[in-house]
Structure 1
Amino acid sequence: MRKPELVAAIAEKTDISKEQAGRVLNAILQEVTAALSNNDTVTLVGFGSFAQRHRGARTGKNPQTGEALTIKASNTVAFKPGKQLKEAVSL
């Protein structure tokens, strides 16, 4: 499912226009992004949690040449699914 399909589903289930549903979805995504950039965790009970994680520097390998190279440290986003989401997917 892509974003336009999600907007259409939200609009249909909530009886609002697609434009309003799009604004709501964009606002949610902006707030999640802002929280993660401030190193906050976003928890949606039953669905899951988003958290920022630090990935340390490490040694990797160039797949074409086999040459060793250093991969810089970086921050990434991790998602841990909630109990209800796990149960829904495992059916």
Structure 2
Amino acid sequence: MTLTKADIIARVYANGQLTKAEAADSIEESLRLIKEALGSGDEVLVSGFGKWSVRDKNQRRGRNPQTGDPLTLPPRRVVTFRPSRVLKAKIQP
């Protein structure tokens, strides 16, 4: 099962403290703040959940999977996530 943004909004709305529009606005604003922080290179830490950060990856050699020809992959930035100990403990069997 995949938990979507619409599912999160519906669950926040189901708590009964916000209207559906307020729930959607609060989730959208939270995601916007996270994207903005990551876009500027900052880390995002949610205590008890985990930390997102942006990491620079160097240029590297690769190959075209269809032809097998070698090529050079350009440097890029990637978002990484490190779960907290609390989250790790919840998902471990």
More helix by share: 1
Structure 2, unmatched stretches of 5+, are none
With structure 2 as the length reference, what TM-score do the two structures score?
0.92
Query: Which residue identity lines up with residue 73 of structure 1 in the other structure?
Result: P
Structure 1, unmatched stretches of 5+, are none
Q: Structure 1 residues 84 and 13, CA, compared in 2 at 3 Å: closer, same or farther? A: farther
RMSD: 1.0
Query: Which residue identity lines up with residue 48 of structure 2 in the other structure?
Result: G
Matched pairs, number: 91
Percent identity for Structure 1 against Structure 2: 30
Equivalent in the alignment of 1:46: 48
Superimposed CA distance per residue, residues 17-57 of structure 1 (whole angstroms, 9 cap, x where no aligned partner): 12111100110111111111111110001100000100110
Equivalent in the alignment of 1:35: 37
Aligned equivalents of 2:16, 2:25: Cα separation in 1: 13
Runs of 4+ in 1 over 4 A off after TM superposition: none
Query: Which residue identity lines up with residue 42 of structure 1 in the other structure?
Result: V
Equivalent in the alignment of 1:63: 65
With structure 1 as the length reference, what TM-score do the two structures score?
0.94
